[in-house]
Amino acid sequence: MEKVSKQHLIYAMSASNEPVLKVKPGTAVLFETCDCFEDQITSEDTPFDALDWDKINPATGPVYIEGAESGDILAVRIDKIAIKDKGVMMTGPDLGVLGGELKQNTIKMIPIENEHAMLSSTLQIPVNKMIGVIGTAPAEGAVSCGTPDDHGGNMDCKEITEGAVLLLPVNVPGALLALGDLHAAMADGEAAVCGVEVAGEVLVRIDLIKGKKWPLPMIVNDTHIMTLSSKETLDEASNQAVINMVDFLDTETGMDRDEAIFLLSLAGNLKICQVVDPNKTARVELPLRYVENQFSLDSLLRGAKEHV
């Protein structure tokens, strides 16, 4: 196992970022992460004007994957997420869905006890650990870690969690994988502009898939396959997530497009990941049982290891 410490932070995903580690496909890597405020908030009395807002949503990395070439697919298995015992939330003017209504900034420290986020003595939310920011370098330019797009980034999808495999595009040699912005708990939508923001560690196993043209990013877990899209509006993101799933079914299973859209109308759930970032993110979840005869991620990864 290799490790990348949280001393190695980036604030934008770009081909110009120097890799801090080079690994072969199949390697397990432990990423140590700051929270989305780079651990600047230590109490509810922390003044907003004392925060360095250029250090929001840092990602740890990037990691260079040997043999990864433009057009490949990076398969990131999320084996373990470990979080600290205290997180933080904040909201206020111009932040989140109520940003146009709120008159003052609010910071709340959230203890994590007995697998619950302690919002108050009476409101105890079950922990659902997830990764907010994870992605590869885009093909061109630099994209802030706070902005999601086709390369991944700040998708804030609660399904990017333990046991899932996240599929990301390789746009540049080595892919340049980076991640951060862990949450102890967060619901679909992220309405306040945050979840329970928390520092921690993420253990992933990284593989390559070659010779496939899929609409990325995608997620596969034990029960579902998912397509994600991040666009300027939620309407655009929702429509594209649906189109992406149709494209996948067309390409990988040979299903006609009219049959695919019928299937999604009956069994494909369209959900919101977040509505508070510069681009909004939506996903389509389709139960694996509808594609299991034509699609096996495990077999693809076994084949990838034989040919890389």
pLDDT digits (tens, 9 = 90+) for 82-107: 999 999 999 999 999 999 999 999 99
263 has a pLDDT exceeding 70: yes
Q: Are 96 and 54 in contact (CB under 8 A)?
A: no
pTM: 0.95
Residue-wise pLDDT tens digits, 164-197 = 999 999 999 999 999 999 999 999 999 999 999 9
Average pLDDT over residues 241-247: 98
Q: CA–CA separation, 130 vs 160, rounded Å? A: 6
302 has a pLDDT exceeding 80: no
Quick one: pLDDT at residue 50? 83
CATH number at residue 251: 3.10.28.20
Give Dmax (Cα) for the chain.
58
Query: 196 and 75: one domain?
Result: yes
Quick one: pLDDT at residue 303? 53
Min mean pLDDT across 197-201, 213-217, 252-256, 295-299 is at 295-299
Min mean pLDDT across 39-53, 77-91, 254-268 is at 39-53
307 has a pLDDT exceeding 50: no
10 has a pLDDT exceeding 60: yes
Domain stops at, among 163, 181, 209: 209
Quick one: pLDDT at residue 308? 43
Average pLDDT over residues 17-37: 97
Average pLDDT over residues 42-69: 92
What is the pairing mode between strands 86-91 and 106-113? Answer: antiparallel
Q: CA–CA separation, 218 vs 232, rounded Å? A: 19
DSSP H or E segment with residue 185? none
Domain stops at, among 150, 176, 209: 209
Q: By residue range, what is the domain housing residue 146?
A: 2-209
Quick one: pLDDT at residue 298? 78
Domain stops at, among 176, 192, 209: 209
Whole-angstrom Cα Rg for the chain: 19
Q: Are 182 and 196 in contact (CB under 8 A)?
A: no
Amino acid of residue 280? K
Number of domains in the chain: 2
Query: What residues contact residue 268 under an 8 Å CB cut-off, 6+ apart?
Result: 242, 245, 284, 285, 286
Query: 80 and 125: one domain?
Result: yes
Query: 173 and 129: one domain?
Result: yes
What is the layout of strands, in order, in the sheet containing 280-287? 2-4, 28-33, 200-209, 73-83, 165-169, 218-220, 224-231, 280-287, 269-274
Confidence of residue 22 (pLDDT cuts 50, 70, 90): very high
